[in-house]
Amino acid sequence: MVGNYEIVALISGILGMYARYNFIQVFRENKQENSKFEIMAFGLFYLVSNTVYFIFDIPIVNLMVQIFFLASIGLLMGFKLKKALLATSIIIVIIVAIESVVVFLTGYVSGSAFIEAEYQSVIGIVAVNMTTLLASKVFNNYKNVRKNNGLPMNYWIAVFVFPIMSLLLLIVIFGFSSENKTIVIASTMMILTMNFITFWLYDRLIWQYEKKLDEVVMEHMNISYKKQLEIMRASILNTKSFQHDIKRHVISIDTLLKEDRNDDLRDYINEMKANIENSNTVSNTGNVIIDSIINFEVNHSGVNPDDISLKAVDIPIKIAIRDYDLTIVLSNIISNALTAIKKVENGKAEIYFNYKKGILLIWVENDFYGELIVENDKMCTTYEDKENHGYGIENVKRAIKKYDGKLNMEYINNKFKADIVMYEKT
């Protein structure tokens, strides 16, 4: 006969499975849409683990099932074997620790992991799954904070408190209605459903935030690419125009030389140079993303290109660093430098790129007169609208960290310096 414990275990087990899904997502590099095979795998995981649990109820057997499915799902998600085993080990340790504490607090002491457990605490099984889900959200939130995508603290506190209050409510309900199966089952289903929806909404908020951030960066990239194409088109037209008239220019120069008109010759050559060079072009490294971002930022800032010194050494056409991440790094660092020199009389900025054996070095120095605010080892914004500014440097750090790189910033003698090292990823 199926009792309260079995029914509640099946219902709360859905939360437990969602917790395992959240845990394994922590080890995923980039958040992706779940494939139908992954969804089917978790569904099979739920069915098999519960079947084995109710038939055998032997801790070591249940543990083997958990290890097998978590490792298999990790491989299905594209993890390498070593990473899949590492993720599985960490998740299993956390789950076992939670289960051990909860079952002990609910009055169960097991003699051996190799014999039938006979654990029948309704509130205990609910507490195990809800606590496991809460732990998975803590780990997920830690990952989001590292990526600078975490929600504000008040949202997180609400998500944290809700399952705890739900668990206390279930304890009260079970205490007064433990003999009424209908009330126990209905209460459990409603409360666990509310918890599931709450956590799902939290995940959706994070997803929407990440999507918005991606859209902003992609829009910036598209605008900079468009601007770079305009610059390249103008440069090509100037070059073709010059080539068309090259014969006439040579004749004019030859005439000025023969007549020893050096001043006129110098002016003529300078005028030719001005027509050949595009005043809007600051960067011509040959790397489209670097050139487009720098040229866009310079033109967008209104800074005189003559106030910017750029040097690039051995920059390849393609670097094994995502355009998305390079855009975040360059757009923020260059924009900050240009904004600073606009506030300084005769302000100058120097930008230096160097590439060697898979290592990209970026060095930016600019004049800066003002006050830097540092709180908790973080540089804070000087904008009045602090809600919408001040995240640039943190985003830069996050992007650089993906490539095992480093960012060093210092302010000495009215000069602000930023040194960046990024290692290519194949």
φ/ψ region of 322 (left if φ > 0, alpha if ψ in -120 to 50, else beta) reads: beta
Q: Which residues contact 259 (CB under 8 A, 6 or more apart)?
A: none
Q: CA dist 253 to 250, 263, 270, 271, 376, Å?
A: 5, 12, 12, 12, 64
The rounded mean pLDDT for the chain is 79
- 265 touches 256 (CB < 8 A): yes
Q: What is the DSSP letter of 423?
A: E
* pLDDT tens for each residue of 275-302: 655 545 677 788 878 888 888 788 778 8
Instruction: Compute the distance between CA of residue 166 and CA of residue 158 in angstroms, rounded to an integer.
Output: 12
* pLDDT tens for each residue of 384-396: 434 333 446 777 8
Of the candidates 50, 13, 49, 28, which has an alpha carbon nearest to the alpha carbon of residue 196?
13
Q: Which two tokens stand for residue 287?
A: 């790397």
Q: Which two tokens stand for residue 253?
A: 């120069």
- 66 touches 49 (CB < 8 A): yes
- 5 touches 181 (CB < 8 A): no
Instruction: Compute the distance between CA of residue 192 and CA of residue 203 in angstroms, rounded to an integer.
Output: 17
Q: Residue type at 92?
A: I
Question: How many Cα neighbours within 13 Å face the side chain of 232?
Answer: 13
Alpha helix (H) residue ranges in 147-261? 153-177, 181-244, 246-258
What pLDDT does residue 381 have? 44
Quick one: fold of 281-426? Heat Shock Protein 90 (3.30.565)
What pLDDT does residue 48 have? 94
What pLDDT does residue 146 have? 54
Of the candidates 298, 317, 293, 323, which has an alpha carbon nearest to the alpha carbon of residue 308?
298
Taking residue 419's Cβ as centre, other Cβ atoms within 10 Å add up to: 15
Q: CA dist 328 to 73, 259, 394, Å?
A: 32, 56, 10
What pLDDT does residue 385 have? 39
What pLDDT does residue 7 have? 82
Instruction: Compute the distance between CA of residue 41 and CA of residue 118 in angstroms, rounded to an integer.
Output: 28
What pLDDT does residue 328 have? 84
What pLDDT does residue 31 have? 58
pTM: 0.55
DSSP states of 256-314? HHHTT-HHHHHHHHHHHHHHHS-TT----SS-HHHHHHHHHHHHHHT--GGGEEEEEES
Give per-residue burial for 374-397: e unless 16+ CB within 10 Å, then b.
eeeeebeeeeeeeeeebebbebbb
Taking residue 226's Cβ as centre, other Cβ atoms within 10 Å add up to: 12
Instruction: Compute the distance between CA of residue 276 and CA of residue 183 in angstroms, rounded to an integer.
Output: 84
Q: What is the DSSP letter of 320?
A: S
What pLDDT does residue 75 have? 92
List, for the chain, all residue ranges whose pLDDT scores fall below the cut of 70. 1-2, 29-34, 109-111, 141-156, 158-159, 177-179, 181, 217, 220-245, 247, 273-281, 370-392, 426
Between CA 37 and CA 41, with CA 39 as vertex, the angle to 5 degrees is: 65
Of the candidates 373, 308, 379, which has an alpha carbon nearest to the alpha carbon of residue 337?
308
